[in-house]
Structure 1
């Protein structure tokens, strides 16, 4: 065994110094196999910010649902109106008859867009969808 000795020069004699080694970490055996139990899942803790986020989300969904309910959902209320083109009838005549609230040129353009027509030419027996609005 060893000991540290310090000399006190004023007293003239040797004084042993206490020596203490830091403890070494000890190894711990970890159980394996069937003797191991699964750790229980920690309880869910909802913070104030989490509660605020959930409350805001629920209120936003409720407002959107109320808005959709009040406006009636989709703008189309039923089956679209269709017209079958008769012999000698033009797209301008159909536009003037069924979309009278706008100019004929605008109404023809709306009919072309709604029916995927590249020109204003129609043939007898063709079905034309009249857009809502």
Structure 2
């Protein structure tokens, strides 16, 4: 038992801190840390699947820009489809919905990233679909 004197504010008794009051035990309250739960980021697979759904919905193709091939494991012998995205791609969203992916193919023409950005700048950012003039040939 420890005594700090007449003007001491606290004293220890049996391992607890005691306050000034009459025998009231002051316990430290642990504050709960409020952590924000981050929204889960979509995986690359989910993003590529949304690109494929967009291409199907709009009648476009992501080939040859997003290359897919079958890969086989030499250890297990299992095979899987692997998608190799381009080095740089542009995904354009309007009100949270995927509106355009570049590069993409329309018939024989490929709409590149530069073409899509030029079309957006020319229209003031209001163009929903790329025009046919802002495409380039794959040859």
TM range (shorter): under 0.3
Question: TM-score if structure 1 supplies the norm length?
Answer: 0.19
Q: Considering fraction of residues, name the structure with more helix.
A: 1
Question: TM-score if structure 2 supplies the norm length?
Answer: 0.18
Q: Considering fraction of residues, name the structure with more strand.
A: 2
